[in-house]
Amino acid sequence: MPTTERITQNNQAENQKAREYLKKYPNAVTGNVNFYQDDDKEMKNLKDALPLRNFSCVFAIPGKDEKLAKLIRNYNSKPWTSSLINDVNRIFDRINQLNGITFYWI
């Protein structure tokens, strides 16, 4: 189990990563792959989301991307099966294609 200090360090590092990304991409958006609540369904402006809370988002991309949004909606509309890993791979491949970043929370 990570210590409170380690969790704080991780949060600070991920927020720094987000701020650096925002310098490069001023119109960056952030979002989630899994929809845990209704507000997870829409990508948000990264600038407005700062400071990020642990687990508040999974990725940031340079700007809104309808193809990624569609992949995520499609993934969330399906019942869980082991084949969903293919959808997850397509989502993260798209994030990479867009020069996006992912956040690693502990």
In this predicted structure, the answer to whether residue 68 has a pLDDT above a threshold of 90 is yes
Q: Which residues contact 56 (CB under 8 A, 6 or more apart)?
A: 49
Domain count, the chain: 1
**Largest distance between two CA atoms of the chain:** 39
Residue range of the domain that includes 20? 4-102
pLDDT digits (tens, 9 = 90+) for 1-36: 899 999 999 999 999 999 999 999 999 999 999 987
Per-residue model confidence (pLDDT) at position 36: 77
* Mean pLDDT of the region 37-44: 79
In this predicted structure, the answer to whether residue 39 has a pLDDT above a threshold of 70 is no
